[in-house]
Amino acid sequence: MKILVLPGDGIGKEVTAQAVKVLDTVIGKQLAVELTEAPIGVAGVDAAGDPLPTETLELARKADAILFGAVGIPGDEQLPYAQRPGASLLRLRKDLGLFANFRPAFLFPELIGASTLKPEVIEGLDLMILRELTGDLYFGEPRGIRTTPEGERQGFNTMVYSESEVERIAHVAFRTARERRKKVCSVDKANVLEAMQLWRTVMTRVGAEYPDVELTHLFVDAASMMLMRAPKQFDVMVTGNVFGDILSDCAAMLTGSIGMLPSASLALGRKGLYEPVHGSAPDIAGKNIANPLASILSLAMMLRYSFDRADLADRIHRAVSKVMTDGYRTADIFQPGMKKIGTAEMGDAVVEALGRISG
Ligand code: IPM
Ligand code: MG
């Protein structure tokens, strides 16, 4: 198992260190793991003048799985695309063909009070947002900022999806639903955008190949409302890159904190990049207060998807549940009566809980 660790910027470094601690504990002597760490984001710029240094990209191409922290710094968007720490992640996703982004939103029962939504709305919540990750406005050409003949500056991007791109993510959605509650909701904006009209047509056609899976469609505005109003109706929600970016943050908040949510970005085959849904959070970086559980749960996804070790992934989940039951909380999920701890202590608590779990 070749695992590449890319801690990146801000809280990325702190939370990833906790996941590595958990990895060391959970694998023990069971698996042969080769861990390599490489610079990305600001560290990449410092090391090689590029947020995604060639050497890091080479290592990423060779790795079986990547554990990613976060990239991005304040003012990121002011820099040219190629020098932007935040854009290094987009280049990595595209280069490695990581088109299928799994963003589960599930609720640890102990955290039901930490959500801003009423308990009855979210109790038992377990949905999977499947976001297409290598197309759409994010990568569509042409793009840029131009000057019109009248001398006004104009920014422009292109929303584009080819049939094969939609087909590919559709199959992933239906197969994923088969392992779950057999429901797919495809989210688009087919009433306004041609790119999304094609999206819906292709989803419907591929859906016919999976008669055992129920397919519904929602426009993205209605879907965002439904996520707040009655989120438990959803099983797999499949959507494009832009809508998926937005909806997955909404879904994350249903569970109380974005600090709890892991993600997996998969290519065809078993290769994957695993990262917390949250970003680099520069405002709380270096303070040992960030929640490392999203990174730790991303590691669990890696063991499940890239290394076929559902047993180890389940152990990590049980350990996290134990820590929750014991009342340990980082600041983002803290409630009165609980024990507030820091990033490193949360990592230690999970390691300690693993020791109490057999098998
Ligand atoms: C995400 C992030 C990224 C995205 C940023 C950091 C480029 O928001 O993974 O959701 O927009 O995809
Ligand atoms: Mg996002």
Question: Which ligand 1 atom sits nearest the alpha carbon of residue 87?
Answer: 7
Q: Are 205 and 284 contained in the same domain?
A: no
For residue 49, pLDDT beyond 70: yes
Ligand 1 near 245 CB (within 6 A): yes
Strand partners, 243: none
Dump pLDDT digits (tens) for 191-236: 999 999 999 999 999 999 999 999 999 999 999 999 999 999 999 9
Q: Residue 16: what are its φ and ψ, rounded to 5°?
A: -65, -35
Domain boundary pick from 225, 255, 285: 255
Q: Are 331 and 234 contained in the same domain?
A: no
Residue closest to 314 by CA, chosen among 306, 303, 330 = 303
Q: Are 232 and 120 contained in the same domain?
A: yes
Q: How far does the centroid of ligand 2 lie from the alpha carbon of residue 355, in Å?
A: 34
What is the pLDDT at residue 331?
A: 94
Range of the domain at 76: 1-111+257-359
Amino acid in the structure at residue 52: L
Q: Are 189 and 274 contained in the same domain?
A: no
HSE, side-chain direction, 13 A CA sphere, residue 176:
25
Spatial neighbors of 147 by CB under 8 A, at least 6 apart, are 153, 154
**Number of independent structural domains in the chain:** 2
Question: Which ligand 1 atom sits nearest the alpha carbon of residue 89?
Answer: 7
Residue nearest to atom 9 of ligand 1 (CA): 277
Amino acid in the structure at residue 271: K
Residue nearest to atom 10 of ligand 1 (CA): 245
**What is d(CA 187, CA 203) in angstroms, rounded to the nearest whole number?**
10
Q: Are 35 and 80 contained in the same domain?
A: yes
DSSP state of 334: -
What is the length of the chain? 359
Residue nearest to atom 4 of ligand 1 (CA): 245
Q: Are 101 and 122 contained in the same domain?
A: no
Q: Are 174 and 47 contained in the same domain?
A: no
Strand partners, 121: none
Ligand nearest to the CA of 246: 2
Tokens 């029962």, residue located: 109
Residue closest to 2 by CA, chosen among 56, 64, 68, 69 = 64
DSSP state of 141: S
Q: Which residues are catalytic?
A: 138, 189, 221, 245, 249
Q: Are 87 and 66 contained in the same domain?
A: yes
Tokens 């389940």, residue located: 314
Residue closest to 231 by CA, chosen among 105, 112, 130 = 105
What is the pLDDT at residue 32?
A: 85
Q: Are 262 and 250 contained in the same domain?
A: no
Cβ atoms of 294 and 261 closer than 8 Å:
yes
Domain boundary pick from 255, 273, 301: 255
Residues bordering ligand 2, an ion, CB closer than 5 Å: 245
Across the chain, what does the average pLDDT equal?
A: 95
Q: Are 161 and 92 contained in the same domain?
A: no
Ligand 1 near 244 CB (within 6 A): no
Domain boundary pick from 255, 285, 320: 255
Q: Residue 34: what are its φ and ψ, rounded to 5°?
A: -110, 110
DSSP state of 180: T
Domain with residue 131: its CATH number is 3.40.718.10
Cβ atoms of 81 and 89 closer than 8 Å:
no
Q: To test ligand 1's pocket by mutation, which of 6, 71, 90, 263 has the most ligand atoms within 8 angstroms of CB?
A: 90
Residue closest to 31 by CA, chosen among 342, 323, 313 = 313
More confident site: 266 or 1: 266
Cβ atoms of 185 and 146 closer than 8 Å:
no
Q: Residue 252: what are its φ and ψ, rounded to 5°?
A: -60, -40
What is the pLDDT at residue 314?
A: 95
For residue 2, pLDDT beyond 70: yes
Q: How far does the centroid of ligand 2 lie from the alpha carbon of residue 279, in Å?
A: 8
Q: Are 105 and 4 contained in the same domain?
A: yes
The encoded tokens of residue 109 equal 């029962």
Ligand nearest to the CA of 250: 2
What is the pLDDT at residue 359?
A: 58
CA distances to 7, 49, 228, 316, 352 from 191, in Å? 41, 44, 22, 43, 52
More confident site: 269 or 173: 173
Dump pLDDT digits (tens) for 122-180: 999 999 999 999 999 999 999 999 999 999 999 999 999 999 999 999 999 999 999 99
Q: DSSP string of 184-249?
A: EEEEE-TTT-HHHHHHHHHHHHHHTT-TTSEEEEEEHHHHHHHHHH-GGG-SEEEE-HHHHHHHHH
* Angle at the Cα of 177 from the Cα atoms of 172 and 179, rounded to 5 degrees: 105
Residue closest to 140 by CA, chosen among 154, 161, 165, 155 = 161
**What is d(CA 265, CA 98) in angstroms, rounded to the nearest whole number?**
5
Ligand 1 near 72 CB (within 6 A): yes
The pLDDT-based confidence of 357 (bands split at 50, 70, 90) is confident
Ligand 1 near 264 CB (within 6 A): no
Q: Are 37 and 80 contained in the same domain?
A: yes
- Of all residues in the chain, the percent with pLDDT exceeding 70 is 99
Average pLDDT over residues 286-302: 97
The pLDDT-based confidence of 257 (bands split at 50, 70, 90) is confident
**What is d(CA 57, CA 269) in angstroms, rounded to the nearest whole number?**
19
Question: Which ligand 1 atom sits nearest the alpha carbon of residue 101?
Answer: 9
**What is d(CA 98, CA 302) in angstroms, rounded to the nearest whole number?**
14
Dump pLDDT digits (tens) for 237-253: 999 999 999 999 899 88
